[in-house]
């Protein structure tokens, strides 16, 4: 059976699908999943929402790396606009507890939050990278949501817009903190990912993959680790202080140094061997990271 994709463009459409009355605010809402009465949506399919969402649901399990975790107390998962979300209502029967914050990009378009929204990388995490919340963390987020609901449920005045946005930003900042805590508490699993990542890069740079396929991308490495690119980079940054791209560049430059000092190949030949189509891009990266050009590095090392 062909997977049907539904487009949800407005908060009003979301309320209609959920069986709710018209929203109090056209650009933001908080959904209580225990009160949802889906009438028009089918039992399974996919939908694309035109807004951001922060969702907390109880009774779920997910994969982390190669392990399965069952968190009956609930997990938090965030999505950005235009992401495809697949659902199966049959599998979710009895799992309706939780809440969802939905806000349209237009709400934050000209705000400080709108300018920094891309910094909240968890909007691109996958469901198997959901955030497991403690009871205290759940209460913190709930108190912020209640404050937000009070704002758009009362008479909206010229202060309401900024106060709603401020509460959304506060909630997102707490999500950042809680994800940071989760990276720390999963330190053993994280170290396993890092070891496997280093083995992947070592194998890649010592094989013909580099010349044949080019420099490995963050997406390629993340998929090999069974993680999304953003979560993978954030995990590495938390554990090592460097993101995935910086790790890839380190291995690339170490390989470049070895070739420079152990062969008489010219810069164009070395760039080609390292997977570069344009040698100037290799030289630019080398000088930026090492401080001197590839030619100068070779000459200065031999002089010493």
- Does the pLDDT value for residue 202 go beyond 80? yes
Choosing from 122, 157, 185, the residue where a domain stops is 185
Average the pLDDT over 231-254 and give the result.
94
Range of the domain at 246: 188-303
Do 46 and 170 belong to one domain?
yes
Output the domain CATH number for residue 163: 2.60.120
Residues 225 and 119 in one domain: no
Same structural domain, 225 and 273: yes
Tens of pLDDT, residue by residue over 102-149, are: 999 999 999 999 999 999 999 999 888 899 999 999 999 999 999 999
Q: Do 89 and 56 have their domain in common?
A: yes
Give the domain-ending residue among 185, 211, 227: 185
Q: What is the pLDDT of residue 68?
A: 46
Based on the fold, state whether residues 244 and 110 are members of the same structural domain: no
- State yes or no: pLDDT of 301 exceeds 90: no
Instruction: Report the predicted TM-score, pTM, of the whole model to 2 decimal places.
Output: 0.81
- Is the pLDDT assigned to residue 64 strictly greater than 60? no
Higher pLDDT residue, 167 or 213? 167
Report the domain count for the chain.
2
Q: What is the pLDDT of residues 82-96, one digit of tens each?
A: 887 765 555 555 556
Task: Say if residue 73 is in the same domain as residue 169.
Answer: yes
Say what the pLDDT of residue 58 is. 75
Average pLDDT, the chain: 86
Q: Which of 170, 185, 200 is where one domain is finished? A: 185
- Contacts of 6-11 with C-beta under 8 Å, sequence gap 24+, read 6/41, 6/45, 6/46, 6/47, 6/48, 7/47, 7/48, 7/50, 8/47, 8/48, 8/49, 8/50, 9/50, 10/50, 10/104, 11/51, 11/102, 11/104
């Amino acid at each position: 059976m062909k997977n049907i994709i539904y487009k949800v463009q407005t908060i009003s459409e979301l309320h209609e699908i959920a069986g709710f009355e018209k929203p109090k605010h056209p650009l933001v809402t908080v959904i209580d999943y225990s009160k949802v009465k889906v009438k028009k949506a089918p039992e399974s399919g996919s939908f694309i929402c035109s807004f951001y969402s922060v969702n907390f649901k109880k009774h779920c399990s997910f994969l982390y790396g190669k392990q399965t975790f069952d968190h009956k107390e609930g997990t938090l998962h965030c999505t950005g606009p235009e992401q495809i979300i697949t659902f199966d209502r049959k599998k979710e029967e009895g799992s309706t507890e939780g809440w969802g914050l939905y806000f349209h990009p237009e709400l934050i378009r000209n705000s400080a939050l709108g300018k920094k929204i891309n910094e909240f990388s968890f909007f691109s995490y996958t469901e198997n990278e959901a955030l497991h919340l403690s009871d205290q963390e759940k209460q913190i987020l709930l108190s912020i949501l209640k404050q937000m609901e009070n704002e758009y449920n009362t008479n909206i005045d010229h202060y309401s817009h900024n106060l709603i946005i401020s509460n959304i930003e506060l909630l997102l900042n707490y999500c950042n903190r809680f994800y940071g805590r989760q990276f720390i508490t999963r330190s053993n699993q994280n170290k396993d990912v890092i070891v496997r990542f280093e083995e992947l890069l070592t194998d890649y740079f010592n094989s013909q993959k580099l010349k044949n396929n080019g420099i490995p991308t963050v997406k390629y490495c993340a998929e090999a680790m069974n993680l999304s690119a953003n979560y993978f980079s954030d995990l590495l940054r938390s554990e090592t202080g460097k993101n995935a791209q910086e790790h890839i560049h380190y291995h690339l430059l170490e390989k470049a140094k070895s070739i420079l000092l152990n062969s008489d190949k010219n810069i164009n030949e070395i760039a080609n061997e390292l997977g570069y189509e344009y040698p100037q891009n290799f030289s630019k990266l080398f000088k930026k990271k090492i401080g001197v050009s590839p030619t100068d590095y070779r000459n200065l090392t031999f002089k010493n």
